[in-house]
Amino acid sequence: MSLSRADIHVDAPIIGGRSGNAGDDPLAALLGVNNMGGFRYLGKQQDMRLLVVTTAGTDLDWPDSFDPETGVFTYFGDNKKPGQPLHGTPRRGNEILRQIFGAPKSTPAERHKIPPIFVFQSLGVWRDMKLLGVAVPTTRVEDADGPLVAVWRTKAKQRFQNYRAKFTVLDIPEIKRQWIDDIKAGNHYSDAAPRAWRSWIQTGVIQPLLAPLTERHRTREEQLPRDSHSQAVLDFIYSYFKDRPFDFEHFAADLLHLTIPNIASIDVTRPHRDGGRDAIGMLRVGTGPSSILIDFAMEAKCYSKSNGVGVRHVSRLISRLRHRQFGILVTTSYLNLQAYKEIVEDQHPIIVLAGADITESLRRSGKSDLEQIRNWLKTEYP
């Protein structure tokens, strides 16, 4: 079947051409949008009938991500280099983000003005794509910064801003061609519109597409970074701290602040007198006077990526946990399968931050450049 008449299924591959040029992009035939760029739309920018957002998921400095367990898609705008204002990008992507996120959404009439947002991800093969889903520019539980925030980055010693946007992918596993045709005709609230989309327009209630993990433990490959740049970052961190385990504990404690923003306090214990815990801390749950503090213990292991953390070290951490306390294991390596399965199957309250988690946390905080990380470590942990 021709792409121009096809339905679209979540996660199904959408095969483009093989000519080696922009015409291979399948979205033009599929939806009638442009064949280039991260932001594409039908109609005029101020009155979009349909918005398409595409991601390759490979930008190390601006790591778009999708969490299938919550349906939240985190997307970075298109101001990715110094020298231009936040909203001055050539394709006006950040202006589009400001427009759709800033629009009022408290009534059905206001939500009706928001176009359907189709999120596609490159498969990394030619220009082939897959649909992540139909999204709305909001989340069910918003953090303190809101779903759209301007973040600062530094490149070549120059500072600049870009947007970080959080969408929610709705429970729409399939997009029927009739709805696409209706959207093109200017009616995204037609009888062919999916129920989750109509519900959001009418009530404002978000029905996300949730896909819980079937296995909670990760393989070795899933715990270690896959791209060469992140591997180089992890190798440098290991080599920097391998003979300084106490300094690595301080690094791991600081990393937790980046990874888990609600940590209220964390104190690294003295060497050789740690009682089996490298640090102890408190996580704040809730806000204001109604919040509570939950104790946790951290253990940090600076291991090479060829040397996994085994059952003995996990059992040691578990045995040191006090009543109503949870544990966090931080390692530049990985947790071996037996130890990971023991945590999951016995439901021990242990969070595992392995090598890939370390590099991803640094990247999300704006520390992705190897030279930048090298200078940061030398300054903070001389």
Domain co-membership, 103 together with 178: yes
Domain end, chosen from 169, 203, 237, is at 203
Residues 354 and 232 in one domain: yes
Most confident of the following: 24-38, 78-92, 197-211: 197-211
Pair 151, 247 in one domain? no
* Closest C-alpha to 260, from 175, 331, 183, 364: 364
Mean pLDDT, residues 134-140 taken together? 92
Q: How far apart are alpha carbons 223 and 177 in whole angstroms? A: 39
Q: Is residue 214 part of a domain?
A: no
208 is a domain residue:
no
Domain assignment of residue 32, yes or no = yes
Report which secondary-structure segment, H or E, holds 256: helix 245-259
pLDDT digits (tens, 9 = 90+) for 195-248: 999 999 999 999 999 987 666 778 899 999 988 888 999 999 999 999 999 999
* 328 inside domain: yes
> Rounded to whole angstroms, how far apart are CA atoms 373 and 378?
9
- The count of residues in the chain is 382
Q: Are residues 29 and 148 in the same domain?
A: yes
- Read off the pLDDT band of 143 (50, 70, 90): low
- SS3 at position 239: helix
131/273 same-domain check: no
Q: What pLDDT is recorded for position 22? A: 85
User: Mean pLDDT lowest for which of 40-49, 301-310, 361-370?
Assistant: 361-370
Residue 375: domain span: 220-380
pLDDT tens column, 319-340: 888 888 899 999 999 999 898 9
Please report, rounded to a whole number, the percentage of residues in the chain having pLDDT higher than 90: 59
Confidence of residue 178 (pLDDT cuts 50, 70, 90): very high
pLDDT value for 215: 65
Same domain, 315 and 344: yes
8 A C-beta contact, residue 97 and residue 165: yes
Averaged confidence pLDDT in the chain: 89
Number of domains in the chain: 2
Overall average pLDDT of the 135-159 stretch: 81
Do 62 and 177 sit in the same domain of this protein? yes
Tell if the pTM clears 0.85, that is, is over it.
no
Q: Which CATH number goes with the domain that contains 22?
A: 2.30.280.20
For the cut 60, the answer to whether the pLDDT of residue 274 exceeds it is no
Does residue 304 belong to any structural domain of this protein? yes
Amino acid at the residue 129:
M
Measured CA to CA, the distance from residue 334 to residue 291 in angstroms comes to 33
Does residue 347 have a pLDDT over 80? Answer: yes
Q: Distance between CA atoms of 362 and 146, rounded to whole angstroms?
A: 21
226 and 283 fall within a common domain: yes
- Which residue, 150, 176, 203, sits at the end of a domain? 203
> Is there a single domain that holds both residue 107 and residue 187?
yes
CA 39, CA 110: separation in Å to the nearest integer?
22
